[in-house]
Amino acid sequence: MRKLLVVLMIVGLLSVGFAGKIGLSVSTLNNPFFVELKNGAEQKAAELGAEISVVDARDNPAKQLNDIQDLIQKGVDILIINPTDSDAIVTAIEDANNAGIPVITVDRGANGGEVLVHIASDNVAGGVMAAEFLAEKISFKGKVVELVGIPGTSAARDRGKGFETKLEDYPDIELVAKQSANFNRAEGLRVMENILQAHPDIDAVFAQNDGMALGAVEALRAAGKLDQVVVVGFDAIDDAVKAVEDGEMAGTIAQQPALMGSLAVEKAFNYLETGSVYIPVDLKVVK
């Protein structure tokens, strides 16, 4: 009877661990991209029977650190973090490491701390795709503006790297302005207005996310230049896709934020269940 009781207790403990408590810290829910990421995470957690607590950093690194401290105090089993700032988040990840809580990063990476796995699109490749598409749209010559996201994020760094490196292949394209608008639509509008004052004859704009691209569209419309300037965004949020359909944007690089959130929860759940993370790699036939 005593052996049976011990076995039942162990099974019970394993069942609790299997369900798992997952903490998800999102950089901002004032952006449709990250709302989709959150929704994908919550849907997968519901499918797996895992408990998930979501907190919104509102693009504030200090708030994100406090949010993660709260999740640690609440005893989450694993953390999924979408950093507001790749440097500022390191302290929070190290705190989780010291508490024995594994960390997964999603969409944006961290510049330190121990991370179990990072789930993201290839942002460098996305930047290259944007440059290729934009260059073709302006017949491989002209003046280009780049609207940069939050400077401390891996997404801004990598998208910019891919875009600018590829632009070097087009000697008749000049990057005349590069300025941060912090992945924010209102800032994208304001920054674009200022750039147009200094560079009224631009041919194209690459914005590192769709929010900034849509802000640029508003500025160009107000200046009467929307039909003269090619605008390319990144993320393929609904408003940007509609802008492409309406001819206000030339294109946007599509990501899959819901899938990112879903995969992050799935890998977190797998880790709680097995103590390891399985990442399959596609096979191919050699012939």
At residue 19 the predicted structure's pLDDT band, cuts being 50, 70 and 90, is low
- Which tens digits make up the pLDDT trace of 161-200? 999 999 999 999 999 999 999 999 999 999 999 999 999 9
User: Is 50 exceeded by the pLDDT of residue 4?
Assistant: no
Length of the chain: 287
User: Residues 21-39: pLDDT tens digits?
Assistant: 999 999 999 999 999 999 9
CA angle 118, 120, 122 (to 5 degrees): 120
According to the model, what pLDDT value does residue 16 have? 39
Helices (H), the chain: 2-19, 32-48, 61-73, 90-98, 123-137, 154-167, 185-198, 210-222, 238-245, 257-274
**Fold that domain 2-119+257-274 belongs to in CATH:** Rossmann fold (3.40.50)
Sequence-separated (6 or more) residues with CB below 8 Å from residue 75: 21
Q: What confidence category does residue 20 fall into, taking pLDDT thresholds of 50, 70 and 90?
A: confident
Mean pLDDT over each residue of the chain, to the nearest integer: 91
Domain boundaries, the chain: 2-119+257-274, 123-254
The DSSP symbol for 182 reads T
Digit-coded pLDDT (tens) for 103-115: 999 999 999 999 9
pLDDT at 12 > cutoff 70 = no
Report, in angstroms and rounded to the nearest whole number, the Rg of the chain calculated over CA atoms: 22
Same fold, 2-119+257-274 and 123-254: yes
Write down the residue that tokens 């989709």 correspond to: 36
CATH code of 123-254, in short, is 3.40.50.2300
pLDDT digits (tens, 9 = 90+) for 243-282: 999 999 999 999 899 999 999 999 999 999 988 887 665 6
Distance CA 148, CA 231 (A): 14
Kindly indicate the confidence band of residue 284, based on its pLDDT and cuts at 50, 70 and 90: low
Write the pLDDT tens digit of every residue in 26-79: 999 999 999 999 999 999 999 999 999 999 999 999 999 999 999 999 999 999
Asked if pLDDT for residue 8 goes beyond 50, the answer is: no
Please calculate the CA angle 162-166-168 and round it to the nearest 5 degrees.
130
